[in-house]
Chain A
């Protein structure tokens, strides 16, 4: 049994948002009497952690602790309009809507704080820990809870904000394709290392080493989840998956996970990843969408690594052992003949 190793590289970019379709999102924020901030949305968390990141963005923009932010989403009766969670748009679009709403809410919060302490708004800073301080006067501060209570029961003011984003819709020129398809682009490069069994055509991915430029990692740990999950999916696309194994013939379509092949935990390679940040001019705190792109660069990197290992180009996905082995046999025959 012979095994051949090889490595391959691929570099890609990925657009954030759905500019070609009109892409609005809204957020509403209000403070409770006790200084918590409820963010009302209609965005959907697919399990990627949207709610957590939205709480972080709101906390940052108002200047309060993350624990005091409550994300209320998932109900069209209570949440303002959102296009949906797709096109790597949610963090970018909903995040920007929250920042806009938070700016308004913060303004109201600081005005009430200034009135309570009889100082100017310009002299106040939030510490992100639940207090508002007078600049240059150590010890002179007020808690966000006190301000919220005063706003409700003394000043009769709401501490709230409305936020909306609507990126300009781009209509492609039908003749030339001139268009503005995205606000910003994330980037990725993967180096894949594989081992090919030259008797069976089976490919083992040994490692995926990738660098991702994502504008700003709002939550590095959740970025890592996307990176590992996406790389797994990319590897699966490259080597395992299809609903039509003999496409365009429709026969032998899998109907369950016994027939629909995907790599299991034992097939996973060594993942090594790096995050780079070049803030986008219009993303929330510079963020770009990272969700979708993580599956893309591993696929061609693996295909190129297989060629490097055994000299076989498989230009159709998935790259099954059958296709690799046929390629190897063809090469051997050419060399022999």
Chain B
């Protein structure tokens, strides 16, 4: 059960609202638990075709040729699409917020850059027929050296993952990484009583929604396409799809809003554009939904990150310098990772006031499934590294880990490393509340501390 603690910040709250603050029952809950909720795939649509992808079995390879003759003759196969069928085949999702360059093909053109990359789209009368035909497509690959480690990828002579970038990192306004500079870390380290540097690593993580990513596209009699989708962002999908298909935006209609779990996994625009194209070219409704295997190995995971944190601390518990090198494994393409990497930089050095901070966050291309947004984007893995680091520092200084955090926790009015003044801070108070729940003893000073002011 959740307790509602009112003693903190009472002076800052208005009370007496009639609708806000009440525990209204979630409007869709009874539909969800009784199986009555209609998800995109629950619509009965006559004449529905099914799309399945021919995918790369290699991390990195040149495509020397494709032979679809046998597949195209298979029973139930309606059409096989290749990159030449896609009007604007090379795109990048965040172009809508002016992120460049376009770096990802809807269907592979001459090369594959990760295992599982879509090469050809088979459209057939049934899922089974589509799957059977996919197995009969012959692609002649010349395997190329792959790079799978973020730091290896940045070394001179590493295989080039993505030609559209020309190097294995995203460029931030002429810089090879997203930087944050605050104070002078070298001076801070020189003055510190202890300096430690630690390395943290995570592996990619799947969103694991109950409902896999997918859509159904229906060509309407009026010449428009209706796309029933479980995307987390309807207009983002519509706008990107119209650009890829080179159709007027008015031609597309997205219907969704009922999603069986998103967690950031359904903000990429991957299934809709190709399913719309298939529906346009066949003039039939088309379904493209990921299998569980595709959801786990082909849809974007949470990026693996490697994080080095170097800290200078004083014996009294003050952190005086923090230097961070963070590598986001973007996989073969950008998707949302350039944004997540900036978000990671903005998050550093954590909710602590440190006078000298130096952050380099690298968005790195490797020959793996492109990573993208996930709950806690740019922050979750950074928090793991920061908070384990804080535990190590507290033990190094033989301080209580909560008291050590309170010593450094940001307070209202403190300057952050990215140049904003802190307001609305409450880190001290959540620690006090959690300590109380866990019977974690605090010193008198720790119990008295407040985010509103820094005690002298």
Q: How far is the CA of A300 from the CA of B417 in the complex (A)?
A: 23
B186 contacts the other chain (CB 8 A): no
Q: Are A278 and B3 in contact (CB under 8 A)?
A: no
Nearest-Cβ distance from residue B221 to partner chain A, whole angstroms: 15
Which residues of A lie under 8 Å from residue B24 when comparing CB positions? 52, 55-56, 66, 219, 221
Which residues of A lie under 8 Å from residue B407 when comparing CB positions? none
Of B182, B203, B368, B431, the residue contacting A189 (CB under 8 A) is B431
Q: Are B148 and A249 in contact (CB under 8 A)?
A: yes
- The bracket for how many chain A residues form the interface is 35 or more
Nearest-Cβ distance from residue B405 to partner chain A, whole angstroms: 5
Of A11, A86, A299, the residue contacting B384 (CB under 8 A) is A299
Nearest-Cβ distance from residue B230 to partner chain A, whole angstroms: 9
A161-196: which have CB < 8 Å to B?
Answer: 172-182, 184-185, 187-191, 193
A236-271: which have CB < 8 Å to B?
Answer: 237-238, 241-245, 247-250, 253-257, 260, 262
Q: Are A11 and B387 in contact (CB under 8 A)?
A: yes
Q: Are A10 and B5 in contact (CB under 8 A)?
A: no
B441 contacts the other chain (CB 8 A): no
Which residues of B lie under 8 Å from residue A193 when comparing CB positions? 438
Of A12-20, A116-124, A152-160, which binds chain B? Answer: A12-20
Q: How far is the CA of A277 from the CA of B12 in the complex (A)?
A: 9
A105 contacts the other chain (CB 8 A): no
Nearest chain-B residue to A183 (Cβ)? B424
Q: Are B380 and A175 in contact (CB under 8 A)?
A: no
Q: Are B420 and A180 in contact (CB under 8 A)?
A: yes
Q: Are A256 and B387 in contact (CB under 8 A)?
A: no
Q: Are A45 and B202 in contact (CB under 8 A)?
A: no
Nearest-Cβ distance from residue B6 to partner chain A, whole angstroms: 8
A104 contacts the other chain (CB 8 A): no
Nearest chain-B residue to A273 (Cβ)? B2
If A221-B23, A254-B296 touch, does A12 touch B346 (CB 8 Å cutoff)?
A: no
Bitwise, A36-56 to B at CB < 8 A (1) or not (0) is 000000111111010110011
Q: Are B20 and A56 in contact (CB under 8 A)?
A: yes
Bitwise, B90-111 to A at CB < 8 A (1) or not (0) is 0000100100000000000000
Of A135-143, A222-230, A325-333, which binds chain B? Answer: A222-230
B444 contacts the other chain (CB 8 A): no
Bitwise, A268-282 to B at CB < 8 A (1) or not (0) is 000011111111110
Q: Are A187 and B427 in contact (CB under 8 A)?
A: yes
Of A77, A174, A217, the residue contacting B175 (CB under 8 A) is A174
B353-392: which have CB < 8 Å to A?
Answer: 359, 366, 368-369, 373, 375-377, 379-381, 383-388, 390-392
Q: Are B27 and A219 in contact (CB under 8 A)?
A: no
If A21-B339, A317-B381 touch, does A71 touch B27 (CB 8 Å cutoff)?
A: yes
Which residues of B lie under 8 Å from residue A180 when comparing CB positions? 418, 420
Which residues of A lie under 8 Å from residue B178 when comparing CB positions? 172, 177
Q: Are B20 and A14 in contact (CB under 8 A)?
A: no
Q: Are A278 and B12 in contact (CB under 8 A)?
A: yes
Q: Are A275 and B203 in contact (CB under 8 A)?
A: no
Q: Are B259 and A44 in contact (CB under 8 A)?
A: yes
Q: How far is the CA of A193 from the CA of B162 in the complex (A)?
A: 45
Which residues of B lie under 8 Å from residue A60 when comparing CB positions? 17-20
Which residues of B lie under 8 Å from residue A225 when comparing CB positions? 26
Q: How far is the CA of A279 from the CA of B417 in the complex (A)?
A: 24
B73 contacts the other chain (CB 8 A): no
Q: Are A255 and B296 in contact (CB under 8 A)?
A: yes
Q: How far is the CA of A233 from the CA of B28 in the complex (A)?
A: 22
If A174-B175, A275-B4 touch, does A9 touch B201 (CB 8 Å cutoff)?
A: no
B30 contacts the other chain (CB 8 A): no
Which residues of B lie under 8 Å from residue A185 when comparing CB positions? 351, 424-425
Nearest-Cβ distance from residue A263 to partner chain B, whole angstroms: 12
Bitwise, A100-116 to B at CB < 8 A (1) or not (0) is 00000000000000000
Q: Are A255 and B346 in contact (CB under 8 A)?
A: no
Q: Are A303 and B384 in contact (CB under 8 A)?
A: yes
A57 contacts the other chain (CB 8 A): yes
Q: How far is the CA of A20 from the CA of B346 in the complex (A)?
A: 10
Which residues of B lie under 8 Å from residue A184 when comparing CB positions? 424
Q: Are A262 and B19 in contact (CB under 8 A)?
A: no
Of A128, A173, A238, A256, the residue contacting B19 (CB under 8 A) is A128
B180 contacts the other chain (CB 8 A): yes
Q: Are B97 and A22 in contact (CB under 8 A)?
A: yes
Bitwise, B227-270 to A at CB < 8 A (1) or not (0) is 00001111110100000000000001111111111111001000
Q: How far is the CA of A307 from the CA of B115 in the complex (A)?
A: 37
Q: Are A216 and B203 in contact (CB under 8 A)?
A: no
Of A12, A21, A43, A176, the residue contacting B351 (CB under 8 A) is A12
If A75-B257, A233-B375 touch, does A299 touch B8 (CB 8 Å cutoff)?
A: no
Q: Are A45 and B258 in contact (CB under 8 A)?
A: yes
Q: Are B8 and A86 in contact (CB under 8 A)?
A: no
A321 contacts the other chain (CB 8 A): no
Which residues of A lie under 8 Å from residue B373 when comparing CB positions? 86
Q: How far is the CA of A46 from the CA of B346 in the complex (A)?
A: 26
Interface centre among B235, B377, B409, by most A CB within 10 Å?
B235
Q: How far is the CA of A291 from the CA of B376 in the complex (A)?
A: 9
Sampled A-B contacts (16; CB under 8 Å): A7-B438, A13-B351, A55-B24, A172-B418, A177-B359, A181-B347, A216-B20, A244-B368, A248-B304, A255-B296, A278-B8, A280-B424, A300-B383, A301-B387, A307-B391, A315-B198
By Cβ-Cβ distance, the 8 closest A-B pairs, closest first, are: A74-B257, A84-B233, A177-B180, A300-B387, A128-B18, A221-B23, A211-B433, A181-B346
